[in-house]
Structure 1
Amino acid sequence: MTTTKKAAPPSERRADLIRLAAELFAEKGFQATSVREIAKAAGILSGSLYHHFDSKESIGDEILREFIDDVLGAYREAVAGTDSPRVAIERMVRSSTAALSRHRAALTMLQNDWAYISTLPRFAYLRTATREIERTWISQLERGKQSGVFRADLDARLTYRLLRDILWIPTSWKQGRGKSWSTDEIVNGLLRLLFVGISTP
């Protein structure tokens, strides 16, 4: 008696296609990846892909929306749950690292293809979201200055850009000889550097 392997449920199949596409977009670039390549990686015909998505842009949209919604949701929660700028900043650092570890492919897409993706009307929300992210960081840094928690001469915009560029990189640094720092160790190290510094009291 032979058995036929059941096809994956539509929602599961769709999620699998998104995952495969995200990997290709991260590896080759969003603009350079074709629908045919995505279909080939999934083991289906190009036409079959259109049963799930109307275009390559719709796949990219799902990948990036989930990422941005995750980041923004965590930031809003971090700010709403405390009156302390320092606590809010710490929560944002930790939530950023957690979100980026869940959405590495989406982050790579944004880093490598921002110049192209940001020009597409379908992705106009990305500029709105990045402006909100920047405002959230800068407002907390400015609140800290005004309350005396942070230095009065702190350049909030520059500090945000420095933190953003540190956070938006893969957190899988190697120490050497097969050892690597854990995500928590990296985050704790960044927070110590940010709030304590490297100079002795």
Structure 2
Amino acid sequence: MPNPKEQNASAAPTAKKKPQVSPSPERRGELLAIAADVFAEQGYNATTVRKIADAAGMLAGSLYYHFDSKESMLEEILRTFLTELWDGYDTVLQAQLDPRATLEALVTESFREIDRHRAAVAIYQKESRHLVAQQRFQYLSDSQQRFEKAWLTTLERGVAEGVFRDDLDVRLAYRFVRDTVWVAASWYRPGGGHSPEEIARQYLSMVLDGISVRT
């Protein structure tokens, strides 16, 4: 999981209105994708409902028919990302693979999530440290603790079983892998010429086997 480093000023209160209609799942998904891009580009505090509506080509008042606030939009964006992330991670962890295979699978699943939710990952990196102070976003902190435990347990098991070096600083290794994987959200673009699986293979080759020619 990305390690958030930026903090933002408190958001100005947003007027709330009760939703009056239920959009189709497809339309709701489109609006959330647009909102995620705007949040990622401009920052949560600087983003207004009007800016999201402008990006969606609709009136700000019309957006309130679908969502009661920008906070609700952000929460749904982040929850969707984390739910899918943990669906993938739990599948890997429950497979009871050996430590190296588990590490490889977790890295691959991480790159797949960046491919699916690049904007949400960028938002998480920029905003979560500030957001966890709010009760409705406390689940971000819970997910981070769960994330850290999964990765540290995998690395510690690898050392104990002789798969990874016995002098490995597992916490330092965790931080390195975490940050170098998730920073990809800052440059990765879907359809950019490399699939998430291809990027994961190259990354794992460098991390686990190095970049020097083997003799």
Do they fold alike, i.e. is TM over 0.5?
yes
In the alignment, structure 1 residue 103 sits paired with structure 2 residue 117: yes
Counterpart of 2:98 in structure 1 is 84
Report what 1:55 is aligned to: 69
Q: Deviations over 1:97-156 (max 9, x none)?
A: 001111010011112223322222211101100111110000010011111111111111
Q: 1:68-91 deviations in whole A, cap 9, x for unaligned? A: 111122111111112411111110
2:205 matches 1:192: yes
**Structure 1: any 5+ residue segments left out of the alignment?**
1-7, 174-178
The answer to whether 1:32 aligns with 2:46 is: yes
Q: Pick 1 or 2: higher relative contact order, CA cutoff 8 A, min separation 6.
A: 2
The offset of 1:195, in angstroms, is 2.3
Moved more, 93-102 or 48-57: 48-57
Q: Contact 1:31 / 1:113 at 8 angstroms: preserved in 2?
A: no
2-structure distance, mates of 1:135, 1:34: 36
Q: Measure the CA separation in 1 of the matches of 2:60 and 2:144.
A: 33
SS in structure 2 of the partner of residue 44 of structure 1: coil
After TM superposition, give the deviation of residue 157 of structure 1 in Å.
1.1
TM-score (norm 2): 0.80
Q: CA deviation at 1:9?
A: 5.4
Say whether residues 1:134 and 2:148 are aligned partners.
Answer: yes
Distance in 2 of aligned mates of 1:180 and 1:74: 24
Kindly tell me: are residues 123 and 9 of structure 1, through their superposed partners in 2, closer, same or farther at Cα, counting changes over 3 Å? Answer: closer
Residue of structure 1 equivalent to 2:135: 121
Closer/same/farther in 2, CA of residues 35 and 192 from structure 1, 3 Å limit = same
Distance (Å, rounded) in 2 between the aligned partners of 1:70 and 1:38: 24
| Aligned equivalents of 1:159, 1:34: Cα separation in 2 | 39
1:23 to 37, 42, 46: 37
Question: Of residues 164, 170, 176 in structure 2, which corresponds to 1:156?
Answer: 170
Who is 2:183 aligned against?
A: 169
| CA distance 1:150–1:138, shift in 2 (3 Å) | same
Decide which of 58, 63, 85 is 1:44's aligned counterpart.
58
- After the TM superposition, which segments of 4 or more aligned residues of structure 1 sit over 6 Å from their partners? none
Output the amino acid matched with 1:165: D
How many Å apart are 1:19 and its aligned residue? 1.2
In the alignment, is the contact (CA less than 8 A) between 2:128 and 2:140 conserved in 1?
no
**What is the TM-score normalised by the length of structure 1?**
0.85
Q: Distance in 1 between matches of 2:138 and 2:167?
A: 35
Distance of 1:31 and 1:19 partners within structure 2: 18
- Identity, in percent, stands at 42
Contact 1:24 1:38 in 2 (8 A): yes
Larger Rg: 1
How large is the Cα RMSD of the aligned pairs?
2.2
**What is the aligned length?**
190
